[in-house]
Structure 1
Amino acid sequence: MRALSRPRPSATAVFAVAMGVLVTGCTQAVPGRPDAARPPVTVSAAPAPSPQAPVPLSPDGVATAATGAIQDVWRGAFPAAFGRPWNDIRTFAPVRTGHPATSRPPCVERVADLVGQAFYCPTADAVVWDADTLLPDLHRRFGSAGVMVALAHEVGHAVQSRLGIDAAQAGDPGRYPAVLLETMADCYAGVVFAKLAERPVAGLAVDPKARDAALLALVGFRDPLGVLPGNDSAHGNAFDRVSAFQDGFRDGAARCSGMTVDNRSFTQRRFGSAADQARGGDLPLPVLLEALQQDADQWFGALSPGWRVPPIGGASCPAHVPVTQGPVRFCAADGVLSIDQGALDTLHREVGDYAGATLLASRYGIALLAALGAETEGPAAGAAAVCLAGAYTGALVEPDGGFTLSPGDLDEAVQVLLTHDWAARDSAGGVDTTESGFDRVSRFRDGLLGGPHGCLPNR
């Protein structure tokens, strides 16, 4: 976050956002390691299978199953979406980058150039990946879903090639910048997950937990902070990449192919100052709390004129207020937001300042529901809280000289929404256990794109 001396005016305008992805084409591959400056929250290791459970596939086994399943998806989805037959990909090439005797893979000069990489090469019609480093790391951290989303993204580039995007880009590079191509490929990966959720394949997890793991893998492949969408190597920040995956999952392949520079915008931004860059875009927690309280007082207050927006108070609420709301609680009796300083410090340190800001905005959302006389308990209240947190964030997207987002803030919101359900908890600490991180991010996006009034009941 950036907190400047002049408070920003109360605003409800939002900014249309979009998505980018894991890897580019043959001439440019993306490292298979997350940004070292801000590692994403990782998924807990799965428990060991019981003796009766199927033996999990190895990374190579997952890759074999995934490439077969992904190609099978497109044999049906491509004709259905585009009215033409699918031509099978010529080559799937796992490369043993740790073996000196490995022959040169397609489209690169040396085996060493592929370490930690995966790519699609249109001239060879080949999907190529590092089988010794990249896939085992993805499998260890995200399970089969991590391997599958990487390969589905690369096959997404093959979909583009079959639609003639390569030729169109060569003739008019400005029409298809790198970040748009990556966005489309992320979107096509979402299509694959949706189709496999309808018809699962043994060894490839596509349940909601696995889908969240796939999104966390995308978070790990986001661009470094400060990279702009116009950069030739841009793939997208975590928020934009996850958004594209969700669009493909929900809306299908036609949504992906219809993306253009005119209808798809991106939320990546440069640092606003040298000081902001030196902090990695994070304000110290006390400064964040003070600035956010002042800003939220204006924004949330405008939604219920005459209402006293709750200040951020101490560490405790009355005994009857459930601490299960999370690190931030709305204490209706005292009219304050109570914080767990230790938990927020940890979240701030491990994820970034806007992770905590997202939780604070969700509790302001619960307080607003109470001020409007709406129900503050139950799944609808939790859903409204997440949506309002997104709507508040949407008002911070465009810099206006006041309190605004820094590079990485939206990514931090995505991470906390994927890994914790705190933002979706109601005033009693209850939460809809059927919802996944995917659902919370989707609801947050709805608020960011649509503004606050779509979040509120009977509005």
Structure 2
Amino acid sequence: MRSPARLRPVTAAAALALAFTAVAGCTQVVPGRAVAAAGGTSGVGQTPTQEEIELGTAAVRAVQEIWRDEFPRSFDEPWRDIAITVPVHTDDPRTDQPPCVRNISEVVGQAFYCPSADAIAWDADGLLPDLSERFGQAGVTVVLAHEIGHAVQSRLGLDELQARSPAQYPTILLEAQADCYAGMAVAQLRERSIPGLPMGQVELDDAMLALVGFRDPLGVAPDDEGAHGNAFDRVSAFQDGFVEGAVRCAEMTLDNRQFTQRRFGSAADLARGGNLPLTDLIDAVETDAGEWFGSLVPGFVPPTIGEPLSCDTDDLEAQGPTRFCPDDDTISIDRQELAVLHEQLGDYATGTLLASRYALAALDAAGEPTTGTPASETALCLAGAYTSRLIDPVGDFSLSPGDLDEAITVLLTDSWAARDTDGESPPDEYGFERVAQFRSGVLEGSTACLAS
């Protein structure tokens, strides 16, 4: 978070301790390339199992089979199979060099599509074992489906369009389209139930977490050359393709696509990695969220942050590290648990959970239920609507680069933000749905949340 000037300066914060490190985007040499994280674990040096080697080939085969049906249905043209699909054994010095690279070392930790050779290649010895270990087969599948998405673009003439009008087709737009096409492919995999490539609800969330791992480094802006998108942008594009299909992906333009990542607004924010200390974050949200949610409900009095006296302790603890007690209009905080979350994911993971509790307080003030699925979903949506106003500064308090990534991560990895005042979250709801409801608020505002 970018803090009000009144907050004290802090020393530089450590990098986010995510289990999946942020990954740099595609290079300009080979469009569509996914590159291993700087300082992260690329998996190089591990010995891939035969199952992991075959998984990449199986995923490419399955996604191409999907496109043989989908491409003519969506674009009224036959699908042309990709000319070269090759797993590259980067640990074997005898490995033949794949197309479009000068040296085999350029493939380490990477997957890419090369339009000039109509080739997809991937590191079978480093990247695939790493993806498989962290995200299961869904991580492997979504990365390769993304690269096949670039092949789809090539078949639709995007290479020529970008060459003629690079400003209209920047890298970030092409990457969003490829994420969108990957979402369509994953949706089809769910419907087809292909043996060896399960794509249930857990795998769907794993696929999205893999995309989070390939977000841009902090501070990259949408108009930077080679920008690919933050976690929010990439997951958003994936969800659009999953829900709406390939035509929706092809229709993406700079006119109808919002990109949310931003540069650092100050040297101080850069120095602390965009993270406020936990106490400062809580104080800032208490003031800012109290005012914003108060604007939604006439007569709303922001809840106080303190120890509740009237609510059942078990219900409160079941809400997670941030809890709203409607009986005495109090938000309570487990600072020890929040400190761990704050350290592991970043400050706006905490901010997202707090925003969802203020949303429940607003529902309570409006005389609406604070329990049940509608309350949970509205709270998620309103947390997104509140977050939207922080993307571009409207005051001293605003998002820093990485904050939306932190929000997406906490929504994918835990149901806390969706829990009602009884500590219950909607049954059979996973991260995909939580992110979708949060996105609705971010993109459409509070009106969409309160429409029902």
TM-score by length of 1: 0.90
For each residue in 1:140-175, what CA deviation from the matched residue of structure 2 results, as whole angstroms up to 9, or x when unmatched? 110100000010000000000000000111111111
> What is residue 323 of structure 1 aligned with on the other side?
317
Q: Within 5 Å, which residues of 2 pair with 1:130-141?
A: 130-141=123-134
Q: Aligned pair 1:190/2:179, yes or no?
A: no
Which of 298, 309, 313 is residue 306 of structure 2 equivalent to? 313
**Following TM superposition, by how much is the alpha carbon of 1:23 offset from its aligned partner in structure 2, in angstroms?**
4.4
SS at match of 2:270: helix
Greater shift in the superposed pair: 392-401 or 180-189:
392-401
- The 3-state SS of whatever aligns with 1:173 is coil
Aligned pairs, number: 429
Letter in 2 for 1:416: V
Q: Residues 105 and 310 (structure 1 numbering): CA distance in 2 closer, same or farther, change over 3 Å?
A: same
User: In the superposition, relative to structure 1, how do residues 35 and 221 fare at CA in structure 2: closer, same or farther (>3 Å)?
Assistant: farther
Q: Give the unaligned 5+ runs of structure 1.
A: 8-19, 40-55
The aligned residue for residue 352 of structure 1 is 346
**Counterparts of 1:404 and 1:278, CA distance in 2:** 16
User: How many angstroms apart in 1 are the aligned matches of 2:146 and 2:309?
Assistant: 46
Q: Distance in 2 between matches of 1:271 and 1:3?
A: 12
In the alignment, structure 1 residue 452 sits paired with structure 2 residue 442: no
Would the aligned equivalents of 2:111 and 2:147 in 1 still touch at CA under 8 Å? yes
Q: 1:170 aligns with which of 163, 166, 170?
A: 163
Code of the residue aligned with 1:397 in structure 2: it is I
User: 1:433: Cα distance to partner?
Assistant: 2.6
What residue identity is the alignment partner of 1:336? T
Matched, 1:399 2:399: no
Give the direction of change, closer, same or farther, for the CA distance of 1:233–1:368 in structure 2 (3 Å limit). Answer: same
Q: Is it true that 1:224 corresponds to 2:224 in the alignment?
A: no
Q: What TM-score comes out, normalization by structure 2 length?
A: 0.91
**77, 81, 92: which is aligned to 1:84?**
77
* Change in 2 beyond 3 A, CA 1:190/1:388: same
Q: After superposition, where does 1:217-296 map in structure 2 within 5 Å? A: 217-296=210-289
The answer to which of 96-105 and 161-170 deviates more is: 96-105
- The alignment status of 1:389 with 2:383, answered yes or no, reads yes
Which residue number in structure 2 is paired with residue 52 of structure 1? none
Q: CA RMSD in A?
A: 2.1
- The range that moved more, 377-386 or 57-66, is 57-66
Write out per-residue CA displacement over residues 299-340 of structure 1, whole angstroms, 9 at most, x where no aligned residue: 001111222110221488744543101100001222110000
1:301 to 280, 287, 294: 294
Structure 1: how far apart are the matches of 2:283 and 2:39? Answer: 29
Larger RCO (CA under 8 A, 6+ residues apart): 1
Q: Secondary structure at the match of 2:163?
A: helix
Is the contact made by 2:25 and 2:227 (CA closer than 8 Å) also made in structure 1? no
Deviation at 1:375, TM superposition (A): 1.0
Asked if 1:2 is matched to 2:2, the reply is yes
Q: Give SS of 1:344's match.
A: helix
2:370 and 2:420 in contact (8 A); partners too: yes
> 1:456: Cα distance to partner?
2.5
Greater Cα shift, 315-324 or 73-82: 315-324
CA offset at residue 21 of structure 1?
Answer: 10
Question: Deviations for 1:369-426, whole angstroms, at most 9, x for unmatched residues?
Answer: 1111111111111111111100100111112342110000000000000000011111
Aligned to 1:68: 61
How far has the Cα of 1:265 moved from its partner? 2.2
Shift of 1:452: 1.2
5 Å matches for 1:334-345? 334-345=328-339
Q: Of 410, 416, 424, which residue of structure 2 is paired with 1:422?
A: 416
User: Following superposition, which runs of at least 4 residues in structure 1 exceed 2 angstroms of deviation?
Assistant: 20-37, 314-322
SS at match of 1:175: coil
Q: Choose which of 430, 439, 443 in structure 1 pairs with 2:433.
A: 439
Alpha-carbon distance between aligned partners in 1 of 2:69 and 2:25, rounded to the nearest angstrom: 24
Q: Read off the aligned partner of 1:434 and give its amino acid letter.
A: D
